[in-house]
Chains A and B, each alone.
Chain A
Amino acid sequence: AQSVAQPEDQVNVAEGNPLTVKCTYSVSGNPYLFWYVQYPNRGLQFLLKYITGDNLVKGSYGFEAEFNKSQTSFHLKKPSALVSDSALYFCAVRENNYGQNFVFGPGTRLSVLP
């Protein structure tokens, strides 16, 4: 069975500092990994994905994520946080198998303090 864990409910970071939002996953086969962001009263927006290839993936708004197969992790990072990055972040995994569906983590609320 697939599963996704986001060990931190809340992450606080000062504006201008680097940020990391953690994600670990469990799948039987090869994972497709995604990050989404949800701003208040809005739907989820796609940030980036890992399918195959380079372990460091770059996405929208200056975000990047690093795929680590041995640690089954896909942490989201940004070198310099902005107040406008404050939102709810979801990690999602889908196994390379038509019999499986997307599984989302519980979400991590990021607060960037001015």
Chain B
Amino acid sequence: KAGVTQTPRYLIKTRGQQVTLSCSPISGHRSVSWYQQTPGQGLQFLFEYFSETQRNKGNFPGRFSGRQFSNSRSEMNVSTLELGDSALYLCASSLDSFNEQFFGPGTRLTVL
């Protein structure tokens, strides 16, 4: 069974630009969550989607948004990028909200 895939793996953007990250969950998994990982803040929850509906949202500004498609694939978007948005963005999928999550390799975003 293929694991969680994330594209692209690396991104370099400048302040003010926007970016879209993509996540393909494990087949059959309907829950997709996104996390921001930084050395100083650790793993911070962004949002969770289940069957195309946002189930939970973390404490991030409205510049961070996401969506989930009918095939469970998910995208997250960050608009008006700031230097502090530089981080590793991890996507995780699971069968349901309370099951163990399987993480992708992440997208490393660098904002210059």
Contact = CB atoms under 8 A, between A and B. Distances in A.
A44 B42 contact: no
B33 interface: yes
B103 interface: yes
A106 B42 contact: yes
A104 B43 contact: yes
Chain A interface residue number, banded: 20 to 34
B80 to A, nearest CB: 25
A22 interface: no
Nearest to B108: A41
B106 to A, nearest CB: 6
Interface string A31-58: 0101010000011111001010000000
Chain B interface residue number, banded: 20 to 34
Listed from nearest, the 10 A-B pairs whose CB atoms lie closest are A43-B103, A104-B43, A44-B103, A101-B56, A46-B100, A106-B42, A43-B105, A101-B45, A49-B100, A32-B98
A90 interface: yes
User: Which of B55, B56, B97, B104 neighbours the largest number of chain A CB atoms within 10 Å of its CB?
Assistant: B97
B75 interface: no
Interface stretch (A13-21, A64-72, A91-99): A91-99
A49 B95 CA distance: 15
Contacts of A96: 98
Nearest to A95: B98
A80 to B, nearest CB: 25
A44 B94 CA distance: 13
Contact of A102 (B33, B105, B106): B33
B101 interface: yes
Contact of A46 (B35, B102, B104, B106): B102
Interface string B22-51: 000000000001010000001101001000
B98 A44 contact: no
A107 B42 CA distance: 7
A94 B90 CA distance: 18
